[in-house]
Amino acid sequence: MTVRSMGLALGWLLLSSPVWAGDSDPLQSPMWGFHQTRFLGTAPYEFDERVVLTAPPFAEDSRQVPISIDASALGQEVVRIVAWAELNPIAHIFSFFPEGPVAPRIALNIRVEQATPLRAAVLTRDGVWHVGSTRVDAAGGGCTAPSAVRAEAGWEEHLGEIFGARFPAGEGSRLRLRVSHPMDNGLSGGIPEFFIERAELRGAAGQRLASLELHPSVSENPTLTLQLGEADAGQRLWLRDNNGNEFEAAF
Amino acid sequence: MRLLSLLVAIFLSLPLAAAELAYDLQPRQIAADTWLLEGSTENFAASNGGNIVNVAFIVTEAGVVLIDTGISKRYGEALRAAIGRVTERPIVLVINTHHHPDHVFGNQAFSDVPIASLARTRELLAEQGGAFADNMYRLLGDWMRGTEVLLPGETLEPGVREIGGHRLQLLAFSGHTGADLAIFDQTTGVLFAADLVFYQRALTTPQTPGLDVWLSDLEALEKLPYTLLVPGHGPVATGREPFAQMRDYLGWLDGLLRAAVAEGQDMNEAMRAPIPERFAAISLTRFELIRTVSHLYPKYEAQVFQRVDAGE
Ligand SMILES: [Zn+2]
């Protein structure tokens, strides 16, 4: 092979298959490779601007940092969304499996222990991960700060209370809610892990429309925003914590 | 030779390394007996040493009444020296208008003088001062060296208090932090509004009991027959413009948050809401909007959310 043909081959490789070669990280984070291996394994991936991961530039409250992920540009092809905060002691935030009328969009609040890159990796049906990234600055300590929920007398009586509403959104609708739960991550005050680990959005007949696996980097009293392509789909939300408590809401 | 050049290099770098951080405080007379140290309208930064606040003093016949003490021990010491360049009279009273760090962290330089505040201000500073200090050390570094929370030892009650020929009307409000003192000098017509009024600088909301509370405070404050207004942050004014700006801005913030929760926006969407062109001259609007959404969004959400679990 001549030098020229090698160059051509290399050029072809770069143009046609960045996915297989592994894209270069837009945030240039030294932790990317570690988490890529952990969450994506050996699957192909690309950094993709169609995955919009939004967070404020700085965390005003490290215990409640809002993040929003919108992969609707990838449409019906999305099968899973995994989000993580690279420098958190518990990096994994959630894994979300939207189906049917549930759009590949989600917003919730997280804790951050320090300034960190955030990632949302979106798996499409063809087996490729599409990665959106952003960075949040933070004074820190959000993961190890004492619980504000537990500081309030009688919080146990409110455990699992859900406040929320459905809002019209274009042709479809949006569900927003907040669940009373300390979401203890086991890192503060010798309190063991106690957190909502699973949620399912279901139709009126109980059929599953989307499922969500949560980890305790999600803030206490977690908020959740979900988007649906239909005005009234997703009438029931079911939640379960790691102690086996189940909670249910109706929309 | 190499060692020599190394020594020369070290010697040359010494003055820089040892340069003392210093606040350049120049009191400016704004009314009879009344002096102002005007801070910048920036955020806390190592480049400004946290000198972002307005501090004022009145030279009465009985001595100096100081209104707020600045962000650090070092600022307080520079402030005391600056007052000493204006008058030889002693400082007889130091007032902390509210418990925010930029208004009280210079207290240590006046530990030999009565320091007074509303009772609730002292409670709030005792509760939150440690966290404020941690945050300021992180933001300002060496400027904060030696700074510790010094609680005011005396309690102020609302009402008129005469000091050295100045009739000072003390007014207790709560819209900015839960305990906010304004001082109207009836003798000179100067109104020290502290952080109830921000002018040309976006207002801050971390401890506000509610924007509606703040708006009603402003209504009462604006009725005072002042001839000069000293805001907590931003330039002084003779007219009513700062009140008009505050009402406009608070009304916009409140409306924005109400509309955002009513439409079902998430917090990031509200944080990215457009800022009206008419607020272009106000510094730090986007920064403070992000903070305000963090502070207040759950309260506004509670107004549109209903109980949806089966428990009820
Ligand atoms: Zn203030």
Q: Is residue B47 part of a domain?
A: yes
Contact (Cβ atoms closer than 8 angstroms) between residue B79 and residue B52: no
Predicted local distance difference test score (pLDDT) of residue A103 = 96
Min Cα distance A50 → chain B (Å) is 17
Q: Is residue B61 part of a domain?
A: yes
Q: Is residue A19 part of a domain?
A: no
Predicted local distance difference test score (pLDDT) of residue A22 = 54
* Rounded distance between C-alpha atoms, residue B264 and residue A107, angstroms: 12
Contact (Cβ atoms closer than 8 angstroms) between residue B193 and residue B236: no
If one counts every other C-beta atom within 10 angstroms of the C-beta of residue A62, the result is 23
* Rounded distance between C-alpha atoms, residue A84 and residue A222, angstroms: 16
∠ CA A110-A112-A113, rounded to 5°: 150
Which structural domain range is residue B179 located in?
A: 23-241
- Name the one residue in this structure whose structure tokens are 């102020």: B156
Contact (Cβ atoms closer than 8 angstroms) between residue B105 and residue B72: yes
Handedness of CA B152, B158, B164, B167 (dihedral sign): positive
Q: How far is ligand 1, taken at its centre, from the CA of residue A127, in Å?
A: 53
- For residue B292, pLDDT over 60 is answered with yes
Q: Is residue B171 part of a domain?
A: yes
* Rounded distance between C-alpha atoms, residue A84 and residue A35, angstroms: 9
pLDDT band with cut points at 50, 70 and 90 for residue B287: very high
Number of helical (H) and strand (E) elements in chain B, helices listed first: 8, 13
What phi and psi, each to the nearest 5 degrees, are found at residue B59? -90, 95
Provide the CATH number for the domain around residue B97: 3.60.15.10
- Structure tokens that stand for A14 in this block: 């770069």
* Rounded distance between C-alpha atoms, residue A236 and residue A57, angstroms: 34
Residues of A in contact with B295 (CB under 8 A): 60
pLDDT digits (tens, 9 = 90+) for A102-142: 999 999 999 999 999 999 999 999 999 999 999 999 987 88
pLDDT digits (tens, 9 = 90+) for B41-64: 889 998 999 999 999 999 999 999
Mean model confidence pLDDT for chain A: 90
Q: Is residue A11 part of a domain?
A: no
What is the residue type of A70? Answer: D
Residues of B in contact with A118 (CB under 8 A): none
SS3 percent helix, strand, coil of chain A, rounded to 5, is: 15, 45, 45
* Rounded distance between C-alpha atoms, residue A80 and residue A61, angstroms: 29
pLDDT band with cut points at 50, 70 and 90 for residue A150: confident
Q: Is residue B50 part of a domain?
A: yes
Provide the CATH number for the domain around residue A159: 2.60.40.2470
pLDDT digits (tens, 9 = 90+) for B229-274: 999 999 999 999 999 999 999 999 999 999 999 999 999 999 999 9
Contact (Cβ atoms closer than 8 angstroms) between residue A233 and residue A203: yes
- For residue A16, pLDDT over 70 is answered with no
Q: Is residue B237 part of a domain?
A: yes
pLDDT band with cut points at 50, 70 and 90 for residue A152: confident
Min Cα distance A65 → chain B (Å) is 8
Predicted local distance difference test score (pLDDT) of residue A56 = 98
Helix (H, G, I), strand (E, B) or coil at B218: helix
Closest-approach residue (CA) in chain B for A68: B268
Q: How far is CA A222 from the centre of its chain?
A: 12
Domains contained in chain A, number: 1
Q: Is residue B49 part of a domain?
A: yes
Predicted local distance difference test score (pLDDT) of residue A32 = 96
Bridging pattern class, strands A102-110 and A223-228: antiparallel
Handedness of CA A150, A152, A156, A162 (dihedral sign): negative
Whose CA is closest to A63, among A3, A128, A175, A150? Answer: A150
Q: How far is CA B70 from the centre of its chain?
A: 8
Contact (Cβ atoms closer than 8 angstroms) between residue B62 and residue B37: no
Residues of B in contact with A248 (CB under 8 A): 309-310
* Rounded distance between C-alpha atoms, residue B118 and residue B152, angstroms: 9
* Rounded distance between C-alpha atoms, residue A73 and residue B33, angstroms: 65
Domains contained in chain B, number: 1
Q: Is residue A18 part of a domain?
A: no
Q: Is residue B309 part of a domain?
A: no
Burial class (CB in 10 A: 0-12, 13-18, 19+), A24: exposed
Min Cα distance B168 → chain A (Å) is 37
- For residue A6, pLDDT over 50 is answered with no
CB spacing of A225 vs B294 below 8 angstroms: no
Chain A: residues touching B (Cβ < 8 Å): 54-58, 60-61, 64, 66-68, 107, 109, 139, 160-169, 174, 176-178, 223, 225, 247-251
Q: Is residue A171 part of a domain?
A: yes
Please report how many Cα atoms fall inside a 13 Å half-sphere around the Cα of residue A119, on the Cβ side: 32
CB spacing of B305 vs A177 below 8 angstroms: yes
Mean pLDDT of B210-224: 97
Closest-approach residue (CA) in chain A for B272: A56
Contact (Cβ atoms closer than 8 angstroms) between residue A103 and residue A47: no
The answer to whether residue B126 neighbours chain A at the CB level (below 8 Å) is no
Which structural domain range is residue A58 located in?
A: 48-250
| Identity of the residue in A68, A164, A251 whose CB atom sits nearest the CB atom of B266 | A68
pLDDT digits (tens, 9 = 90+) for B4-34: 555 555 444 444 444 678 999 999 999 999 9
CB spacing of B306 vs A57 below 8 angstroms: no
